[in-house]
Amino acid sequence: MPPPRSVRPGGAIFPLRRRPIAALALLACLPLAGGVPASGGAAAAAPPLKAGQPYQEARIAMTQAGWTPRRRAAAIPCAALVPDRRCQLYPELQSCSQTGPGFCRFEWLSPSGKPLAVITRGGNSGGDPGRLSTWFVLP
């Protein structure tokens, strides 16, 4: 029987039993629910956010900590999200899924200019942005 196999992004196939360390390293790079790590670089500058926190509360905390909303790119006009009221209320809203748990992505800039993505879930097009699901520093 051949060994179990997995497919890497890009289509490369490798035996699972030969790459356990690579698999662990990949897991270490993924953002965890609850946000960015507490130590190092831009992560240390992140305001205190909590998974499950209402986005409105997180928005106030970020603004008070010196973070600024990263405005939507001109290529993503608010009209693309109509009739989603969140678009008018939150200029930092980048996109929302229209199915499932209703994930939305908001982007912010730290006082030093580092971008941060904040993901919420459970909001609605009536204007509720939902609650924090995760957040991570952008490259």
Q: Is there a single domain that holds both residue 21 and residue 66? A: no
Q: Is there a single domain that holds both residue 82 and residue 124? A: yes
Question: Given this model, what pLDDT does residue 71 score?
Answer: 87
Q: Which residues pair with 96 in a beta bridge?
A: 104
Q: Is there a single domain that holds both residue 74 and residue 115? A: yes
Q: Is there a single domain that holds both residue 25 and residue 41? A: no
Question: Given this model, what pLDDT does residue 138 score?
Answer: 92
Model's pTM, two decimal places?
A: 0.65
Domain that residue 1 falls in: 1-30
> Would you say residue 136 has pLDDT above 70?
yes
Q: Is there a single domain that holds both residue 41 and residue 76? A: yes
Mean pLDDT within 103-129:
93
- Please report which helix (H) or strand (E) contains residue 131, including its range: strand 131-137
Reported as a single tens digit per residue, the pLDDT across 56-107 is 999 999 999 999 999 887 666 666 666 788 888 898 999 888 777 889 999 9
